[in-house]
Chain A
Amino acid sequence: MAISWYLLVSAAMFGLGAIGVMVRRNPLVILLCLELMLNAGNLALIGFARMWGNGDGQIFAIVVMVVAACEVAIGLGIIVALYRRRLPVDVDELKELHG
């Protein structure tokens, strides 16, 4: 199978994820969309790895997964903390960082 199909799927996943990050306001969903984008990257990496016939890309993908897992753990922790403090679970309301 030509590499282009893998890339197309990957691009579609990435686009969906990006749109989700931009349009959704629930941090949980945003986190999920981020995962989608990361996995789009993973897919591309694995596709390329297969094309070149070596395992480097797969190792990268595994590292990205580990990082993603850490990120999800932290992100979920923050969301839980938000619930506990009864703050709105809406990223538009959470803008203390504005200049």
Chain B
Amino acid sequence: MSVATSAWLVLALPLAGTLIIALGGKYWHPRAAATIGTLAIAIAFVFAVITLINLQGLPEEERVVTSSLWDLVNVGGLTVQLGIYVDPLSTFMALVVTGVSTLIHLYSAGYMKTDKGYVRYFAYLNFFVFSMLLLVLAGNMVLLIVGWAFVGAASYMLISFWYRRTTATAAGIKAFVINVVGDIGLVLGTLFLFKTIGALDYGSLFESVQVDFDKNAPELVIAMLLILVGAFAKSAQIPLHTWLPDAMEGPTPVSSLIHAATMVTAGVYLIGRLHPLFEWAPTAADTGAVIGAITLLVAGTIGLVMTDIKKVIAYSTMSQIGYMIMAVSAAAYVGGFFHLMTHAFFKALLFMAAGSLIGAMGGEQSLDKMGGWRKALPFTFRCMLIGGLALAAFPLFSGFFSKDFLLYEIAERGGLYWILYAAGYIGAIFTVLYTFRIIFRPFWGKPCEQAVSLEEGHQWHAPEPFNPANGEVEDTDVGFPGPHHNYAEESTSMKVPMAILAFLAVVAGVVQLPYEITHVLGSFLEPTFADSLIKHTQNNGLETFGLVLSVAISVIFIPIAWMIWVKKPGTSARMQQRFKALYELFSHKWYFDELINALVVRPMVWMGRWFKNTFERVVVDGLFVGGPTSLVKAGSAAVRSLQTGLLRSYAGLLILGVAAALLYFLIRAA
């Protein structure tokens, strides 16, 4: 099987899964839908592996395979093909996406078991995977935008999955609209590129960019900044990040798949994909790196104070993606994608564990109400701990290697990149703190009511189902979560993927060990980034420095976290009092929502109202309709007033008219 065929099959299987599940609709047995959905993705993963093997079989310089089915558009010099672009980078992404997705499908089969929308859920989930694969395999900018938007739509549908919750639908529209803003950035950036280069497929773009543009030419920089807007919107970077925390309204496996492991990394992929363009516009690339650094710090601080466990993980995701965006923008590609992979493993794992915990809590998500779960949920606890250690870059876990490698590659560029390096390690401190906050608070301390109940052998359920976001009472029919909340300990299909991910979260670092002990990922991605203008050289001293720093952070700050949240439980409350202003800033998420509301949303609403209540009435109805209409009316009124119905006046007028005509002829004759 050729590379192209297997890559097309990777793309086709999830689509087929979506269609089969969706068209069958309610006629599918729920179990059948789950099986079809999971199998479709699992087989897609197999084909991704086959693609990988075939690709590796090609000589290094030929490891870019393009293939197209037909022309979508071919008019006036604009050609858009339905085509794919298979190279090590897109294969790598396809592997991560299908691999993690398979596990999450499996997890979902257990987690969503009692939900009334089970079949619909799997249709959506397959559609999401298809969209994501379209995004990574797309062969030109337009198809990339299509995948980009499909992913946004799939994310919207899954965020609003429990569609009778107003909080979920509001979060859905917010995510969708911000993603559309990103799409527009991408479209405009693409148009800028097209205006000069006159082509939209990657091959032509990469070849022509250095010919058609001067280095750092203003048009190119603007184009790349607009494309960065797209990347920021999808990857939840400041200031387009506000949708991500709200997106936690979706079912937890969705958060795990879309809002942690795959979709939000699309921006990272985009920058990596277009690296020849970004490197030719260093101003834009540096902007991306700086925004990434700012995001990783800001998100880290917010993660410290959120009380909703899913939101803490969401902000952690934002922060980690900040690392990746910073890395790929700063040309630390291998580091960035290495971290993307390990992050996909441990963050998916963390969300799965959190989902299991929330299930055991009967749907409650607030950290304030959790406590002492260690004994009741031993498996979940272990997964959470492993995921947490990997996230906190604890020595020898996968996150440790990937984060260090990422920062090391950035530092290697020297100069001002040292600031980014420093930001990365400051962010690492926040990471350790918030990570252990979500481990210590739910699992240590006095067991909460729910934990006690589970230890006694029966799962706690709220007397009435409720929405954890606003406490509204709800039922358990379609559009709300099902009657039973599932947790890992009781469900094999949840346990298996968690175990696999836990294993990967521990060992995934081996693909790229320090001091070039192993260099699997680096050499695999090498053909994609061979044309990079920035060359990395091995610097053992620098690498050692980073590793030591990282170990030190773990060793110092994990005990501090222990002190704050386990040893002396009142500490965090005291600190909130002491640094009240700071706490307010963090817990209001740096007021970004309020800012966007004041700058964009409210003016828009106000404009709409003004149009409707004033402009429409006065100008459109008054001036433009009123003008011609009143003219016609006045004319007809004038004519109408002549028609009195009085016979005698008609006669008079007639005679007057005849007389006037006579007079006219008389005067002419004379």
Chains A and B touch (C-beta atoms under 8 A apart) = yes
Which of B147-155, B277-285, B641-649 touches A? B641-649
For chain A, residues 16 to 59, give those with C-beta under 8 angstroms from any C-beta of chain B: 18, 21-23, 25, 30
Asked, given contacts A99-B641, A99-B642, whether A91 binds B655 with beta carbons under 8 Å apart, the answer is no
Binding site for B on A (CB under 8 A): 18, 21-23, 25, 30, 91-92, 94-99
Cβ contact within 8 Å between B647 and A94: yes
Cβ contact within 8 Å between B655 and A98: no
Cβ contact within 8 Å between A21 and B648: yes
Cβ contact within 8 Å between B648 and A25: yes
A98 proximity list for chain B (CB < 8 A):
643-646
Q: Report how far A23 CA is from B647 CA in the complex, Å.
A: 11
Closest Cβ of chain A: how far from B636's Cβ, in Å?
9
Most-contacted residue by chain A among B639, B643, B645, B652 (CB, 10 A): B645
Cβ contact within 8 Å between B648 and A92: yes
Closest Cβ of chain A: how far from B68's Cβ, in Å?
71
Q: Which label, helix, strand, loop or mixed, suits the secondary structure of the B interface?
A: helix
Cβ contact within 8 Å between A91 and B643: no
Closest Cβ of chain B: how far from A34's Cβ, in Å?
9
B655 proximity list for chain A (CB < 8 A):
18, 22
**B651 on the A face (CB < 8 A):** yes
Binding site for A on B (CB under 8 A): 639-648, 651-652, 655
Cβ contact within 8 Å between B651 and A95: no
Cβ contact within 8 Å between A99 and B646: no
A94 proximity list for chain B (CB < 8 A):
645, 647
Q: Which 7 A-B pairs have the closest CB atoms?
A: A95-B645, A98-B645, A99-B643, A99-B640, A91-B647, A97-B645, A21-B651
B646 interface neighbour in A21, A23, A91, Cβ under 8 Å? A91
Pick 20 A–B contacts, CB within 8 A, sort by A.
A18-B651, A21-B648, A22-B648, A22-B651, A22-B652, A23-B648, A30-B647, A91-B647, A92-B646, A95-B646, A96-B645, A97-B643, A98-B644, A98-B645, A99-B639, A99-B640, A99-B641, A99-B642, A99-B643, A99-B644
In the complex, what residue of chain A is closest to B640 when comparing beta carbons? A99
Closest Cβ of chain A: how far from B650's Cβ, in Å?
9
Q: Report how far A71 CA is from B655 CA in the complex, Å.
A: 19
Most-contacted residue by chain B among A22, A23, A96 (CB, 10 A): A22
B647 proximity list for chain A (CB < 8 A):
30, 91-92, 94-95
In the complex, what residue of chain A is closest to B648 when comparing beta carbons? A22
Closest Cβ of chain A: how far from B644's Cβ, in Å?
5
Cβ contact within 8 Å between A91 and B648: yes
Q: Report how far A21 CA is from B643 CA in the complex, Å.
A: 18
B639 proximity list for chain A (CB < 8 A):
99
A25 proximity list for chain B (CB < 8 A):
648
A96 proximity list for chain B (CB < 8 A):
645
Given contacts A22-B655, A95-B644, A99-B640, 6 further A-B contacts (CB under 8 A): A21-B651, A23-B648, A92-B646, A94-B647, A96-B645, A98-B644
A95 proximity list for chain B (CB < 8 A):
644-647
In the complex, what residue of chain B is closest to A30 when comparing beta carbons? B647
B641 proximity list for chain A (CB < 8 A):
99
Closest Cβ of chain A: how far from B629's Cβ, in Å?
19
In the complex, what residue of chain B is closest to A91 when comparing beta carbons? B647
Closest Cβ of chain B: how far from A62's Cβ, in Å?
24
Closest Cβ of chain B: how far from A40's Cβ, in Å?
13
Closest Cβ of chain B: how far from A18's Cβ, in Å?
5
Closest Cβ of chain B: how far from A32's Cβ, in Å?
14
Q: Report how far A30 CA is from B650 CA in the complex, Å.
A: 13
Closest Cβ of chain B: how far from A55's Cβ, in Å?
27
B652 proximity list for chain A (CB < 8 A):
22
A91 proximity list for chain B (CB < 8 A):
646-648
In the complex, what residue of chain B is closest to A19 when comparing beta carbons? B655
A23 proximity list for chain B (CB < 8 A):
648
Closest Cβ of chain A: how far from B666's Cβ, in Å?
14
Q: Report how far A21 CA is from B655 CA in the complex, Å.
A: 10
B642 proximity list for chain A (CB < 8 A):
99
Closest Cβ of chain B: how far from A23's Cβ, in Å?
8
Q: Report how far A47 CA is from B651 CA in the complex, Å.
A: 26
Q: Report how far A96 CA is from B639 CA in the complex, Å.
A: 17
Closest Cβ of chain B: how far from A39's Cβ, in Å?
17
Q: Report how far A25 CA is from B641 CA in the complex, Å.
A: 21
Q: Report how far A98 CA is from B655 CA in the complex, Å.
A: 19
Q: Report how far A21 CA is from B649 CA in the complex, Å.
A: 10
In the complex, what residue of chain B is closest to A14 when comparing beta carbons? B655
In the complex, what residue of chain A is closest to B651 when comparing beta carbons? A21
Q: Report how far A76 CA is from B645 CA in the complex, Å.
A: 20
Closest Cβ of chain A: how far from B23's Cβ, in Å?
64
Closest Cβ of chain B: how far from A20's Cβ, in Å?
10
Closest Cβ of chain A: how far from B489's Cβ, in Å?
89
Q: Report how far A36 CA is from B598 CA in the complex, Å.
A: 87
Q: Report how far A30 CA is from B647 CA in the complex, Å.
A: 10
Q: Report how far A99 CA is from B639 CA in the complex, Å.
A: 9
In the complex, what residue of chain A is closest to B642 when comparing beta carbons? A99
Closest Cβ of chain A: how far from B641's Cβ, in Å?
7
Q: Report how far A19 CA is from B639 CA in the complex, Å.
A: 26
B645 proximity list for chain A (CB < 8 A):
94-99
Most-contacted residue by chain A among B639, B641, B655 (CB, 10 A): B655
Q: Report how far A61 CA is from B11 CA in the complex, Å.
A: 99
In the complex, what residue of chain B is closest to A15 when comparing beta carbons? B655
Closest Cβ of chain B: how far from A97's Cβ, in Å?
4
B648 proximity list for chain A (CB < 8 A):
21-23, 25, 91-92
A97 proximity list for chain B (CB < 8 A):
643, 645
